[in-house]
Amino acid sequence: MIYFDQAASSYPKPQIVQEKMMNALANYSANPGRGEHRLANQAASTIYQTRLKAAELFGCHDPNTCLFYQNATVAINQALKGIQWKKGDHIVTTGVEHNAVRRSLEYLKEKHGVHVSYVSYDGDDDVMVEQVKKEITKKTKLLAISHASNVTGDVLPLKELTTVAKEHDLITFVDGSQTIGHIPVHMEEDNIDMLAFPGHKSLLGPQGVGMLLLNTDYLLEPIHHGGTGGDSLTTNQPEQMPERLESGTLNTPGIAGLLGAFKYYEQRKEEIVPRETLLTNKLINGLQSIKGVNIYQLNTTTDDQLPIISFNVFDIMSQEVAAILDNHYDIAVRAGVHCSPLIHEHFATTSQGMVRASFNMYNTEEEIDTFIRAIKEIAQSYEMIR
């Protein structure tokens, strides 16, 4: 199979990821932080090594504020819902947000009476930065942004936006779900207070583990409460980190796999963008040559785009195109609204959805050629019968 659904979950996983996970399962599958025996200590050591590596890679000042969750969505919920909100507080966000951010913010509107401003992005970085400036008021408390769109692959002007936020003493939250593992991010240099990301996308790590990295003294309220392996006699959640924001048994095999993914990322990070940019440009050029194909991009004047291309073929439902690709060509893509309704409203594709092809370092130019031929055949067949 040609796997072009890398933006949803990367496949295959590197050997080092598989080996780290299997080693954890086979040799120290004990409960970290819940015992004094050597297996529990080995599990705890692996988890702390992963915190250290995350802090090193992404510019987080304290490994104890590098927190593990089931996925990026849970990390996002902890970040956004953990802030101590008051009625009338204001949040600035963007029109490219995934539902993990958008639904959390809409929940805050209903629960706490905060106001949320959605700033659109049409591909012009300067215009967007100016719009954000205009939205900020004395009540604004948080800037929450996705680093890149999971639908179009457009990368937002992260540093410019967070610089504006810091000039106004705002908390900055970044959803790095699509960019971490693809584009270098450094929390201190990029003015990021809170960064959330999953292990299973561009990092090429396992599903079932995500992280929230905190570079702020702002004390979040935990959204989960429970056992932490210590302070068991108190009825309150511990104050120290990471226990304050981590309850229950951590996914040691998944975290071990994530450590392997971090180490693999260190080895390959200089090679990622040039190769994937080549594949992206090749696919865009090929699709543009096909009658009836409409490609959706916000910024068409830059190479600073993730290897994500969304498009439609005439007025065919995106799910039908995806089914044809799967059943007749053995090609896997994503179709639908991709949990990002705002950007589909922008392009008027909420009914049709979009076909999304996404790839990474494991994909090849030959696969791109095969994909382009398949889309051309689908378009020509549809044009003949319509």
pLDDT digits (tens, 9 = 90+) for 43-84: 999 999 999 999 999 999 999 999 999 999 999 999 999 999
Element (H, E) at 102: helix 99-112
**For residue 357, what are the β-bridge partners?**
309
**CA dist list (Å): 349 to 126, 213, 256, 323, 371:** 26, 34, 40, 18, 22
User: What's the pLDDT tens digit per position in 149-175?
Assistant: 999 999 999 999 999 999 999 999 999
First and final C-alpha spacing in the chain:
30
CATH topology for the 15-268 domain: Aspartate Aminotransferase; domain 2 (3.40.640)
User: What's the pLDDT tens digit per position in 255-286?
Assistant: 999 999 999 999 987 777 778 888 999 999 99
User: What's the pLDDT tens digit per position in 173-184?
Assistant: 999 999 999 999
> What's the chain's length in residues?
386
Please provide the CATH number assigned to the domain covering 2-9+272-385: 3.90.1150.10
User: Which 3 state secondary structure label does DSSP give 302?
Assistant: coil
* Per-domain boundaries in the chain: 2-9+272-385, 15-268
CB half-sphere exposure, 193, CA atoms < 13 A: 23
User: Which 3 state secondary structure label does DSSP give 97?
Assistant: coil
Residue 237 confidence class, pLDDT cut points 50, 70, 90: confident
pTM: 0.96
